[in-house]
Homo-oligomer: A and B are copies of this chain.
């Protein structure tokens, strides 16, 4: 039965996810034990199994949640008319969304190999769906002559790799604001696909 009133346990689930995401990002899935997660949450290892059937499901749930958040946030935006504005919107969205979720991005990127075959397939489908949004933008722009790229599929992957690369160096509180980073990357993206 679902809890209807506030109690300390109502926050244990989210807390486990937060702690696990941070630890997985920091040390990697295989290097983090259930006891470490439990210890950081402030609980014994056995208690974790009230919230996840096993360690693998914990990782999968984190990655699936992240990808669904990404797709939902993307879908919530209304798309501009012309291709150029669409690409700018995608660029700024991608950077802003990923910058404030460094841990989730890192985990979703690095721990694909730690997923079971079935879970991997599920995550890959979600990732593909996101990539397709960018490729659609590029394809349409190429059609109308606004963009020119040698290969839309490769350009898609190249741009996403470049944009996600922000996470390797950006640290909150650095010399650049999110908007400044967005603008810097948009400048390069715009030119990279220019005719």
Contacts and interface: CB of A to CB of B under 8 A. Distances in A.
A109 to B, nearest CB: 9
Main secondary structure of the interface of A (DSSP, over half): helix
Contacts of A149: 187-188
B27 A187 contact: no
A168 interface: yes
Nearest to A153: B169
Interface residues of A, number: 36
B158 A188 contact: yes
Contacts of A79: none
Contacts of A113: 26-28
Q: Which of A26, A31, A114, A188 has the most chain B CB atoms closer than 10 A to its own CB?
A: A188
